[in-house]
Structure 1
Amino acid sequence: MGLLIARYALEDGTHFGILDGSVLKRLAGVPFDSLAESGHRDPLNAVKLLAPIAQPRIFGLGYNYKAHSQEVGKNVPEAPVLFMKPSTSAIGPDDAIVYPRHGEVIHYEGELTAVIGRRARHVREEHALDYVFGYTCGNDVSDRVLQRQESAFGCLLAGKGYDTFAPIGPFIATGLDPANQRVITRVNGVVRQDGNSRDLVFPVAYLVAYLSKYMTLLPGDLIMTGTPAGVGPIQVGDTVEVDIPGIGVLRNPVVAEHDVPGVGAG
């Protein structure tokens, strides 16, 4: 049976805990090292849920659902189409997605996101899931205008990499089958995406093995596995929800850049 693990803030600091009904059983340390409990019990309604990983390395996948490739007029890739999002793009549940002041077409992309649990290098696909700690919800927010400009020259960074463009959470779920997870995205309560990870072109085990062929994966690394069909725009004032049953609902409001103190200063 799987666990739901949160990272959260209280007045006495930041902690990890295992959800047990309406309380979080505080861990003694970091879950990648041990699930030993500290003995503290923190009421869920008394904590601020944070992004499950602080300052993660984020690997993104493009065109990893056939239906999404079709809707944007792309061929199904023969190899994983990879990019990275900076750690500063990561935010947690209920944190605001900041709509850039010069943004024109900003899209949501709900995604199943794998959380690496231990160092992985030259991992075989049949053993790759042993290196995954669990799964969380992700939203690969994207500036389509900038993305197309970059993609025309074979790169992809700034259009995916704004601050706040990688909401993740609310929990890390262990014990899930990554080959059969429903991924639902709602904007203002209306379902916009409803896919399933069984339709991934490159499944999670393949992606872990593929990445580990070229680089060392580290505990806390995130692999955002791609988005199903149904991507579309968001606007200031919207609320976006990524819902993966078994993990939870990742909910984020969209605010204007000038409404956020300290963002875009200078």
Structure 2
Amino acid sequence: MSDQLETIEDYYNRLRKNQMKMFDSDDFETGKSHFNISMRKYCSFKSPYNRRDYYKVSFILGKGTFQYGAHQLYVDRPALFFPSPHIPYSWECDGDLQEGYFCLFNQEFFNGNTEFNLFKKTSLFKEWSQPIVFLTDEQAQLSNLYFEQMYKLNYSTYAFRCSSIKSHLASVLHLALENRVDDINPDELPANVRLYRLFDELLNKQFPLDSPAYPLALKTASDFADHLNVHVNHLNSSVKSVTHLTTTQIIKERMFEESKNLLKYTNWDIAEIGYTLGFEQPSHFNNFFKKHAEVSPLKFKSTV
């Protein structure tokens, strides 16, 4: 796997360096929810082989080749492309006729709507999924409609444009899931990816949390290792080899994401939320949340 990681900031800097004005990127702030969309006819004809720290969804009308991890994927008909952020890829156009759209968004945007939670339990954007979904003519027309609306909304002054963009993006993701019949068989995956997949499925099955009466069961890397009947060091090394993150980092990030959702969308008090997430003392949850959000849970709740 390539160790080169391109951030959204790196990507925008590369566009500016090459004097490519595909879209306005002035509103990007690290750590803040971010979404952007562009027509593909403004793309460069070759992108570097890197991992990305952001999500990208492309609606491709045109021919070209993806180098995706160890695989070469040729696109010669309408398709949707959903790469995993953990797998390096590059794209090279085959011919001048390139149409369609692509959008990119960061983790904060993906986490900012509970409607997206169900997609985290699917194969989309995962290392074991096929990243290309080929489309029929009817599906291509539908995809074009969704992306065209997102493009218009992104540059509109409509007060609820962000919510509408997320709804259209969710429709694209649903369309992909309806057609996803060729994901990689678990038996064909490397052992480290198989173990990471089991961990990922266990982690996401625990969310969303429905009631303080049913607190989080698996909270630590050791909890997951015991449940999977493997040594914690083996789990840690497998997860890190795939994601470049530790098992604990992934668990804590998912807990933090859920804590924000509970603060936003429930009337539970701070102590109940902390207890449901596995913190026996409210002060421990308070410290955990402040470390990640740089504000207290109470202040966060009062501003949403």
TM-score for both structures, normalised by structure 1: 0.28
Q: Greater RCO between the two (CA within 8 Å, min separation 6)?
A: 1
Question: Per residue, is there more helix in 1 or in 2?
Answer: 2
TM-score for both structures, normalised by structure 2: 0.25
Question: Per residue, is there more strand in 1 or in 2?
Answer: 1
